[in-house]
Amino acid sequence: MSENLFLDDFTVGQRFVSGEHLIDEAQIKAFASQFDPQPFHLDDDAAQSTLFRGLAASGWHTAAITMRLMVQGGMPVEGGLIGAGGDISWPKPTRPGDVLRVESEVVSITPSRSKPQQGMMTVRGETLNQHGDAVQVLVVKMVVPRRV
């Protein structure tokens, strides 16, 4: 789909798949050094003795990549992806060499009674690596415009 969708265009159960992103060691370390400077994100040797047993991307880095993939075609919402809260988990670490993609499903759609120009949509997105393992699960409520 090349055009963005309004709330009225979505259906519960509708699915979307993003493009892909290859994450490497340099990206992991660059993000971590600026935003999450913990040893298991910065140094492979230090990470060996942690819960991760090797270099792992920050969950916030995985979340940022997820956002980029969704914005660049993984969820074509008119007016952009505007979050209104949600739940996030990271069931497995993101590793150097992982190729990430996001598979999203519309869970619920609720037109607003007080603001007829918009509504809320709940989306469940799984960020998967090249093996199909979920490295992030995000259930988010989004504000989506309606056709007026």
What is the tens place of the pLDDT at every residue in 91-136?
999 999 999 999 999 999 999 999 999 999 999 999 999 999 999 9
| The pair of three-digit structure tokens given for residue 36, joined into one six-digit string | 């999450």
Q: What is the pLDDT of residue 148?
A: 79
Q: Which helix (H) or strand (E) holds 35?
A: helix 25-35
What residue segments make up the domains of the chain, in order of their start? 7-145
Using left for φ > 0, alpha for ψ between -120 and 50, and beta otherwise, residue 13 falls in left
AA letter at 15? R
Q: What is the pLDDT of residue 1?
A: 46
Report the C-alpha gap between 145 and 45 in whole angstroms: 48
pLDDT-derived band at 2 (thresholds 50, 70, 90) equals low
| DSSP track, 69-122 | HIIIIIS-BTT--EEEEEEEE-SS---TT-EEEEEEEEEEEEE-SS-TTEEEEE
45, pLDDT greater than 80: yes
Q: What is the mean pLDDT of residues 46-54?
A: 94
Q: What is the pLDDT of residue 52?
A: 95
Check: CB of residue 51 under 8 Å from CB of residue 112. no
- Superfamily assignment of 7-145 in CATH? Hotdog Thioesterase (3.10.129.10)
73, pLDDT greater than 90: no
| The pair of three-digit structure tokens given for residue 76, joined into one six-digit string | 């074509």
Report the C-alpha gap between 48 and 39 in whole angstroms: 10
Q: What is the pLDDT of residue 137?
A: 98
Mean per-residue pLDDT over the chain, rounded? 96
pTM: 0.94
| The pair of three-digit structure tokens given for residue 91, joined into one six-digit string | 């069931």
> Whose structure tokens read 């920050």?
58
